[in-house]
Structure formats: structure tokens, C-alpha cells
């Protein structure tokens, strides 16, 4: 939960946006917060987007699901649990 105060101008702008988009002010404020914090971009330098070809094909057995950090980033994750096989 979050509480905030808007000055009159901020509130009027938000209320106008909400009305134009047929939203409640509360919904418009939630939408604004989501758009601010959610990053909906692809980073081409991230190995997960460069190594798509290495993903398994149907019927092909790989270690991607177990060793994804090693495959993508060249290192094993630090875990405090043991995988059972």
C-alpha cells in the first residue's frame, strides 16, 4: 500500500487523464506507477537474448533448465540447496 499527496495541478492532470481514458483516478495512478517501474525493453547485450539458438529443440536433451546461469553467463549460481536427481 502507498499513500501520497498530489498538488492541485498534479491531481487535475491525473483526473483529466483518467477521464479521457475512462479510468478511475485510482486506476490511472496505478497505471502510472506500473509504467514507471516496469521495464518493458529488450536488452540485446543480455546473453539470454543472444543465445536463443542454444535452446533445446523438441526431443533434444540439454542442461539449459539446470545450468542456465552457466550457459548464459559462464558461471554457476550460488545456491543453498541441493538438487535431487
- Please give the pLDDT value at position 42: 76
pLDDT band at 74 (very low <50, low <70, confident <90, very high): confident
Residue 85, pLDDT > 60, answer no
Q: Which residue has the cell 554457476?
A: 76
Which is more confidently placed, 66 or 53? 66
Q: What is the mean pLDDT of residues 63-80?
A: 66
Q: What's the pLDDT tens digit per position in 1-46?
A: 888 899 999 999 999 999 999 999 999 999 999 988 887 777 777 7
Ranges of H-type helices in 1-85 = 8-20, 25-37, 47-50, 64-73
- 10 vs 32: CA distance, rounded Å: 12
Which is more confidently placed, 18 or 83? 18
Indicate whether this model's pTM tops 0.85: no
Q: Domain segments of the chain: what residues?
A: 1-71
Helix count and strand count (H, E) for the chain: 4, 0
Amino acid at each position: 500500500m502507498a499513500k501520497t499527496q498530489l498538488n492541485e495541478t498534479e491531481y487535475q492532470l491525473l483526473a483529466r487523464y483518467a477521464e479521457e481514458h475512462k479510468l478511475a483516478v485510482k486506476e490511472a495512478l496505478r497505471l502510472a506507477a506500473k509504467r514507471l517501474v516496469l521495464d518493458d525493453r529488450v536488452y540485446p547485450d543480455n546473453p539470454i537474448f543472444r543465445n536463443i539458438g542454444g535452446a533445446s529443440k523438441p526431443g533434444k536433451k540439454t542442461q539449459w533448465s539446470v545450468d542456465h546461469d552457466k550457459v548464459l553467463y559462464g558461471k554457476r549460481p550460488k545456491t543453498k540447496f541441493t538438487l535431487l536427481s
